[in-house]
Structure 1
């Protein structure tokens, strides 16, 4: 399954890229499930991001590796791929795209591809994942406008 959300912001491409750091990652975490950041290396190939999701009755570890990163004058992107995933996911790839706009702003695109152990669960997870990433939109706008 794929989930894509786009958020236009007024800050220039390079400014937005420089803001993609541990502090932003922490601010983007939704209220549920609470997230504890275990490790944040950065957004370059080989970097690792690891967190613990707290579902109150149980906790799940999620570790992703930055698989690729590319920069041009028009776009900067990086891709994180799940290595250790919560039990309800069997595959995770998140492409973070920062695209320069004609007005010298930036379009932030979150492109998520995921699978669960069961096809029906893929569909049931879609609204939950969409909401988790829609939560980021006002944060992006506040920080980069």
Structure 2
């Protein structure tokens, strides 16, 4: 299943790139399930991000590896792919794009995921949309033009 969510922000793409740190990741985590950041190497190829999702009665580990990153004159992007996923996911690939515009940048999340079976993939879709829509006002606040 594929999802694409775009957020317009006021800062230029290189400033937004610099803001993609562990502190931003923590702000982007939704209230449920609570997420504990175990490891955050960064957003360059080879980096690892490890999380623990707390579903109250049980916890699930989620480990992603950054498999690509590139900075051009127009955009910065990096791709994280799941290498250890919660039981409800079979595959995960998330391309984070920060595209420069004349008025700032567009942060574009391009997610591709699969659950262990097709029905669950479809059932997860609304939750995935909500998880990433939750980020929109946070991105807008964090990357508001200063001054």
Given the two structures, how large is their TM-score scaled by the length of structure 2?
A: 0.97
> Corresponding residue for 2:129?
130
Residues 1-145 of structure 1 aligned to structure 2 (within 5 Å): 1-103=1-103, 105-145=104-144
**Matched position secondary structure for 2:123:** helix
- Could you list the per-position Cα deviations for residues 15-39 of structure 1 after superposition, in whole angstroms to 9, with x for gaps in the alignment? 1000000000000000000000100
SS at match of 2:11: coil
Aligned length: 144
Q: Secondary structure at the match of 1:44?
A: coil
| Structure 1: gaps (5+ residues) | none
SS at match of 2:68: strand
Shift of 1:139: 0.1
Deviation >4 Å, runs of 4+:
none
**Counterpart of 2:45 in 1: which secondary structure?**
coil
Question: Equivalent residue of 2:8, what SS?
Answer: strand
Write the deviation string for residues 37-93 of structure 1: whole angstroms up to 9, x where unpaired. 100000001000000000000000000000000110101000000000000000000
